[in-house]
Amino acid sequence: MKVFINGQFVPQEDAKISVFDHGLLYGDGVFEGIRSYNGKAFRLQEHLDRLWNSAKAIWLQIPMTKQQMAEAIQEALRQNGIRDGYIRVVVTRGVGTLGLDPNRCSNPQVIIIADKISLYPKEYYENGLEIVTVSTLRNHPAALSPRIKSLNYLNNILAKIEGLQAGCIEALMLNHKGEVAECTGDNIFVVRQGRLLTPPTDAGILEGITRAAVIELARADGYQVLEIPLTKHDVYIADECFLTGTAAEVVPVVKVDSRPIGDGKPGPITRHLMARFHQLTQQETQ
Ligand code: PMP
């Protein structure tokens, strides 16, 4: 595998960063996870915009233009012969001292890894997932905004560990107000009486690119979509529930905290949106 680091493509074994990089020492950096279909990055502009916004929020200057980054991403896919894959873009603060001061860091490091995608097992899409609500709250937006896709993912990892300990591969996180926020690496939607409901940005969530695409698709198909605060109760009494994310795409949820959602099977609107999203990924990457 060839990895892009520091402006060039090098063999995986040579793709290394310093132990003094603040990305490692402090999680000081930002990243993106991007899907490719048919050899083309899906919704690349949206991912680049979010990456640049994350960087801006932490006063990190990405040492290339969006156009250069887009070209490097496509080149990473080409060099590795990846058609349906997953791209990880990481921008670290760069090498600094052992102190926190980001001003003492020199060159931000840009890393692009294009790899095969490890998909969720097919049965999750056919039969749906079971998830649990965990005790780890999503970061308070005033402490570290969940809108920043930063290299510090411990909040999500701690929630993921709780979920895994309960036998679930995804876990539902609440915010500091006790409202539903999102899952550890996916956004959440519920369907009630034919309408789609999903937590708003100010519930303290990452503004998912799959979430935005699904909202667009649902509205285009005539469904009402409301971005409103939700409680666990809203999830328990939903007719349907599903998660969205770059890696997962659209995945049905059939049980939350041991309660079956709807009739305990992936619902019709969820199945419709799974198919529509799949179509969209193919259409946009031809
Ligand atoms: N929330 C979190 C915390 C995530 O890490 C992700 C994955 N990037 C998502 C939601 C889904 O976002 P996207 O659809 O852009 O992958």
Helices 44-57/66-79 angle, 10° precision? 120
Going by alpha carbons, the residue nearest to atom 9 of ligand 1 is 186
pLDDT per residue over 57-78, tens digit each? 999 999 999 999 999 999 999 9
10: β partners: 3
Ligand 1 pocket, residue 270 CB under 6 Å: no
- Predicted pLDDT of residue 202: 96
Q: Yes or no: say if 188 and 180 are a contact pair by the CB < 8 Å rule.
A: yes
Q: Note the pTM of the prediction, 2 decimals.
A: 0.97
Q: How many CB atoms lie within 10 A of CB 29?
A: 26
The string over 224-236, giving b where at least 16 C-beta atoms fall within 10 Å of a residue's C-beta and e elsewhere, is: ebebebbebebbe
Ligand 1 pocket, residue 150 CB under 6 Å: no
Q: How far is the CA of 62 from the centre of ligand 1 (A)?
A: 21
Q: Write the single-letter amino acid at 125.
A: Y
Indicate if 149 belongs to the active site: yes
- Predicted pLDDT of residue 93: 98
| Measured torsion, CA atoms of residues 184, 23, 139, 205, in degrees rounded to the nearest 10 | -60
Q: Taking the alpha carbons of 247, 173, 169, 130 in that order, is the dihedral positive or negative?
A: negative
Out of 16, 66, 149, 255, which one is annotated catalytic?
149
Which of 186, 244, 249, 250 is the pocket-test mutation for ligand 1 (most atoms within 8 Å of CB)? 186
What confidence category does residue 119 fall into, taking pLDDT thresholds of 50, 70 and 90?
confident
